[in-house]
A and B are shown apart, each in its own frame.
Chain A
C-alpha cells in the first residue's frame, strides 16, 4: 500500500513538471528579441502585411492569454505549424525523432557494453594501473566536447583513413530507396530486406554513435566504479568469499548484483541525456534528427518548432525518469 502511494506520487508529479517546462519554454520563446512575424514574412514586407500576420497569429493579445491558447491547443495534440517547413510541428517531430532514437540507442548500447565492464574491473582492481587508465578514459569522455571529438573522428576516419563514410544517415545511392515504416533508417532497410542499405546505414551510424557513446561511457563507467567499490567493501562480500566462491562469481553475482539496481537509474538518465543532448553531434554529422531540427528552428526563430521539440525532450526526460523509478521499485527486494 505504501509502495503504491509512493508510486502514485511520482506519477502525479509528472504533469506538474511538464506544465513548468511548457511555461518556461513559452516565456523564453516570447521574450527573446526576435519578431516571429518578421521571421515569416521577411524583412522587407510592407507594414500592413506585418500587422495582419501579427493579428492572425494572435500576437497582439496579452502574454497570459497567448499562453492559455497555446496550452489549450497542446492538450488537443496541436503544437502549431512550423514556419520553416510549413508542416505541423507534430508531423515534423514524428519525422525527425526516430533518427535521434536510432542514434541514441546505438550510443547507449556501446556505452553499456564497454562502460560497465570497465567500471566493474576498475573497482575490482582499485588503485591499480588499469584503474588509473580507466579513470583517464572516462574523464576524457566527460570533458572532451562532443563536437571536437566528432570533428576529429571525421577528420581521421573519413578524410585521412577513408574507412568510414562521411556525414548523414545514408549514402546518396540509397536515397529514397528505403520505404519509411518506423522512421529508423536501419530498421526500415532491414524490414524491406535491403541488406546493402542496412550495411550502409550501420557504417554511417558508427562514427556519431561512437562519439555519443564515448560521452555516456565516461559517466556510466565512473558511476559503476563508485557503486562497485562500495559493494565490494561490504561484509557480505567476505561471506561470499568465505563460502569458497570463485572471484568472478563474487564480483558479478554478489557485488554487481547489488549494484545493478542502482545503475538502472544512472542508465535511464544517461539515455535521456543522449536523446535530448545529441544536438551538437547531430549538427557535426548532419544527422537528420531532433537535435538538428531544434538547432535549425532556433536559428530561424521558428518558435512553434522550438517549443514543440523542447517539449518532446522534456517528456522523454520525465518519462525515462519515471520508468527508472518504477523499475527500481520492481527490481530491488528492499523497496519492493
Chain B
C-alpha cells in the first residue's frame, strides 16, 4: 500500500481523513496504534474495500498479493474477502448477525469459499468452534449472539474468519470490548492461530504496550498519518514526540507518579 488517501463527504465538501499511508505486510504481525479517529480502522478496511460507498479512496498503489484492489471488481474483491483476508471487528455484540445462530454464521463463511453440503458445513462449523477453544461447541453452534458472552462471541467471530483459511487476518481492536482477563485469552488465541497457520496479522489497537508485546512491527498513527514505524522491541527508543508522549502517560507500578502526565499536542504533528 502506497500513499493511501481516504476522504468522506461532509457538509463542507470532501474531508480527507487518511493522508497518505504506506505500509506492507507479509507473514508477520503488524501492529497499528493510534487514538480514536486517527484513521486506523479506515486504513485497514480499505484493504478489503469495505468502506461506505460515499468514501473516496485513492492510492498510488494498493495491492493484495498482486491484485489491484482499487481496480478490482466486486466479484474479484469477494474472492479476497473472507477467503484470503479475514476481518475481526471490535464488538461481537454488533458484529454478529443477531437473528442467525453462531453455527450458521460460521457454516456460511465455510460454505461460501469451499464447496460442500449444508451438513458438511455444519460439521465444519462445530469443528472450527472447537479450534477456537469453545467448550461444548455443538451446543454453542445452536445459540444466538445475544446468548453468548463477549469472549465467546469474539471466538465465534474468529472461527468465522478462519473458516476459509485466509492468509491475512485483520483484527480491528478485537479485544477493546472485552473484560481484561478475557482480552488476554483472546489475544493468546489469535497469536496461537496466526503462528500455527503462518498467517499475516494486522492488529489494530490503541493499547501501545500490548501491541508492542504482541507484534513484530508497530506503526504509530496520528491524525491520518503514520508518524513513526518501529520494531516492537525498540519501542523504548521511540523518537517521535507523540509516541514518547504516549509512553510517558502510561501508569507504571514500578515508577509511581502522583499524577499521570497529560499529552501536550503539537499542531506540527499533523503536517
Q: B91-99, B118-126, B203-211, B262-270: which lies at the A interface?
A: B91-99
From 93 to 117 in chain B, residues with beta carbon under 8 angstroms from any chain A beta carbon are: 94-100, 108-109, 112-113
A244 touches B94 (CB 8 A): no
B94 touches A236 (CB 8 A): yes
Q: How many A-B residue pairs have CB under 8 A?
A: 73
A181 at the A/B interface (Cβ < 8 Å)? Answer: no
* B179 → A minimal CB distance (Å): 20
- Looking across the interface, which residue of chain B has its beta carbon closest to that of A238? B50
B99 touches A243 (CB 8 A): no
- For A239, list chain B residues within 8 Å (CB): 87, 89, 95-97, 157, 160
From 28 to 72 in chain B, residues with beta carbon under 8 angstroms from any chain A beta carbon are: 45, 48, 50
B200 at the A/B interface (Cβ < 8 Å)? Answer: no
Among the listed A235, A244, A257, which residue makes an inter-chain contact with B112, where contact means beta carbons less than 8 Å apart? A244
Total interface residues on B, using CB and 8 Å?
Answer: 31
B98 touches A333 (CB 8 A): yes
- For B99, list chain A residues within 8 Å (CB): 257-258, 261, 332-334
* A165 → B minimal CB distance (Å): 45
Given contacts A241-B81, A244-B164, A245-B78, whether A236 and B97 have CB atoms under 8 Å apart is yes
A48 at the A/B interface (Cβ < 8 Å)? Answer: no
Among the listed B74, B87, B94, B96, which residue makes an inter-chain contact with A242, where contact means beta carbons less than 8 Å apart? B87
* A228 → B minimal CB distance (Å): 14
Among the listed B78, B87, B160, B161, which residue makes an inter-chain contact with A246, where contact means beta carbons less than 8 Å apart? B78
B137 at the A/B interface (Cβ < 8 Å)? Answer: no
- For B50, list chain A residues within 8 Å (CB): 238, 241-242
Q: How far is the CA of A18 from the CA of B109 in the complex (A)?
A: 50
Give the 7 A-B residue pairs with the shortest CB-CB distance, closest first: A244-B82, A242-B87, A235-B94, A244-B81, A243-B82, A333-B144, A236-B97
Interface residues of A (CB under 8 A from B): 234-236, 238-247, 254, 257-258, 261, 332-334
- For B146, list chain A residues within 8 Å (CB): 333-334
* B163 → A minimal CB distance (Å): 8
Pairs A–B under 8 Å by Cβ, sample size 13: A235-B94, A240-B97, A242-B48, A242-B50, A242-B82, A242-B87, A244-B78, A244-B80, A244-B109, A245-B78, A245-B82, A245-B112, A254-B100
* A280 → B minimal CB distance (Å): 39
B155 at the A/B interface (Cβ < 8 Å)? Answer: no
- For B113, list chain A residues within 8 Å (CB): 244
A235 touches B95 (CB 8 A): yes
A238 touches B79 (CB 8 A): no
- For B74, list chain A residues within 8 Å (CB): 247
A244 touches B79 (CB 8 A): yes
Among the listed A234, A241, A247, A257, which residue makes an inter-chain contact with B94, where contact means beta carbons less than 8 Å apart? A234
Among the listed B91, B98, B109, B144, which residue makes an inter-chain contact with A243, where contact means beta carbons less than 8 Å apart? B109
B5 at the A/B interface (Cβ < 8 Å)? Answer: no
